[in-house]
Amino acid sequence: MKKLILCSIALLAFACNPKQTVGTVTKGKPGIVTPDDTVHFTAPKNIILMIGDGMGLTQITAGMYMNGNKLNLEQFKYIGLHKSYSSDDLVTDSAAGATAFSCGQKTYNGAIGVDKKGRPVQTILEEAEQKGLATGIVATCSMTHATPGSFFAHQKKREMVEEIAADLPKVDLDFFIAGGKKHFDRRKDEQNLIETLKGKGYVIFSYFDEELKNITIDPNKNFGYFTADVEPLPVSQGRDYLVPASLMALDYLTKQPEKGFFLMIEGSQIDWGGHANDSKYITSEVIDFDKAIGAVLDFAKQDGETLVIITADHETGGYAINPTSTMDTIVAAFTTDKHTAALIPVFAWGPGEELFSGIYENTSIYDKMRRAFGFSKKVQ
Ligand code: MG
Ligand code: ZN
């Protein structure tokens, strides 16, 4: 958010500087002491939230075995579990699941950045922008899909993709790479939102103009790149941008004058492999997502001020690794082609990682990220 570069010195020294919360203990409301209130941690400058859509423990396990019994995820020391249910269903969808992370609200399935009554709730990405941090989104689905959409849009139903797209120019998101170009420039209302974004100072490219790898990004301008007209291909059919897009996002965000950043990266299609009951689709997408995790971890290790959180919104498929499976041949079984309600793993690395061990609600991930950033407690 470039206009906040001028964040006053007083603010910089105070509310704008999350490092001021290092080692402090904040008391909860009288009579309510949450475990996080007693955790001492070093505040991160940057947070990268990586969501493997539909990535339950079996998806991770199968991906690991199909990848020579190793994953970058094994480097994480702080691991927790979240309860993924939504406000109206024990089995969440990706919209309610992402809104739990982005807004800290248990809401109904299908809700995009709105509470259970359908009222818009500021997302952590919007709050980060407001507080003077740089922001980014990278996904392997369309930008208007439930997971990325829930970080910048406020719509009552996930199917309202054109309305979700129309919310993007209202947020000063600094950087995005995802699919879904069509929902921006060939709309029923005939608005061209790509032109709208360009009018707001964005540089926008798409796969149609130029390959991502050939683009030199100007860090002085907001940047968007559409990887597909609607949904990007599965990695098994040649999609290869998650790692380079994540690295481009990190390069861009670290060049911003802001004092830190919030980046959401989604491995979107692990879920689609689950819906298809296709074990190879699942494992290839998990391995692709894990490569991006490796690239992000390498950055975070160099940087030293970045908290990396990996989780999923829910499990998909009731996926099981059945008898007669071997290390490189998964004999898979599925109980459903829908989502399931299993506890979902959370992995954290870097300053603030201590906050993420234990078992907690999916909405706590939002609370923990805000606490790590040093954003003040919200009055309930
Ligand atoms: Mg998703
Ligand atoms: Zn799904």
pLDDT per position as a tens digit, 273-330: 999 999 999 999 999 999 999 999 999 999 999 999 999 999 999 999 999 999 999 9
**256 alpha carbon – ligand 2 mean position (Å):** 34
Please report which ligand is nearest the Cα atom of 93.
Answer: 2
The confidence score (pLDDT) of residue 55 equals 98
Say yes or no to pLDDT of 14 above 60.
Answer: no
Say yes or no to pLDDT of 3 above 50.
Answer: no
Say yes or no to pLDDT of 271 above 50.
Answer: yes
CA pair distance 313, 352, nearest whole angstrom = 21
**302 alpha carbon – ligand 2 mean position (Å):** 34
Q: Are 288 and 267 in contact (CB under 8 A)?
A: yes
Domain boundaries, the chain: 36-373
CA pair distance 217, 229, nearest whole angstrom = 21
Say yes or no to pLDDT of 15 above 70.
Answer: no
The confidence score (pLDDT) of residue 376 equals 83
The confidence score (pLDDT) of residue 358 equals 96
Please report which ligand is nearest the Cα atom of 142.
Answer: 1
- Active-site position among 84, 86, 94, 102: 94
pLDDT per position as a tens digit, 47-98? 999 999 999 999 999 999 999 999 999 999 999 999 999 999 999 999 999 9
Q: Where are the alpha helices (DSSP H) in the chain?
A: 9-13, 57-65, 94-103, 124-130, 146-152, 161-167, 182-185, 193-199, 242-254, 270-275, 279-303, 363-373
Beta-carbon contacts of 346 under 8 Å, excluding residues fewer than 6 positions away, are: 79, 80, 81, 82, 309, 310, 311, 356, 365
Residues 180-209: b if buried by 16+ CB within 10 A, e if exposed: bbbbbbeeeeeeebbebbeeeebebbbbee
DSSP per position, 6-58: G--HHHHHTTT-GGGGTT-----STT---GGGG---PPPSEEEEEEETT--HH
Say yes or no to pLDDT of 379 above 80.
Answer: no
User: What integer is the mean pLDDT of 354-370?
Assistant: 97
Predicted model pTM:
0.91
The confidence score (pLDDT) of residue 255 equals 96
The confidence score (pLDDT) of residue 331 equals 98
Say yes or no to pLDDT of 38 above 90.
Answer: no
**154 alpha carbon – ligand 2 mean position (Å):** 20
Q: Clarify whether 94 is annotated catalytic.
A: yes
pLDDT per position as a tens digit, 180-215? 999 999 999 999 999 999 999 999 999 999 999 999
Please report which ligand is nearest the Cα atom of 231.
Answer: 1
**42 alpha carbon – ligand 2 mean position (Å):** 35
**264 alpha carbon – ligand 2 mean position (Å):** 18
Residue 148 — very low, low, confident or very high, per pLDDT cuts 50/70/90? very high
CA pair distance 11, 15, nearest whole angstrom = 5
Residue 6 — very low, low, confident or very high, per pLDDT cuts 50/70/90? very low
Please report which ligand is nearest the Cα atom of 268.
Answer: 1
Q: In the chain, pLDDT over 90 holds for what percent of residues?
A: 87
The confidence score (pLDDT) of residue 258 equals 82
User: What integer is the mean pLDDT of 335-359?
Assistant: 97
Residue 9 — very low, low, confident or very high, per pLDDT cuts 50/70/90? very low
In the CATH scheme, what is the code of domain 36-373? 3.40.720.10
User: What integer is the mean pLDDT of 334-363?
Assistant: 97
CA pair distance 167, 144, nearest whole angstrom = 10
**183 alpha carbon – ligand 1 mean position (Å):** 17
The confidence score (pLDDT) of residue 34 equals 56
Q: What average pLDDT does the chain have?
A: 92
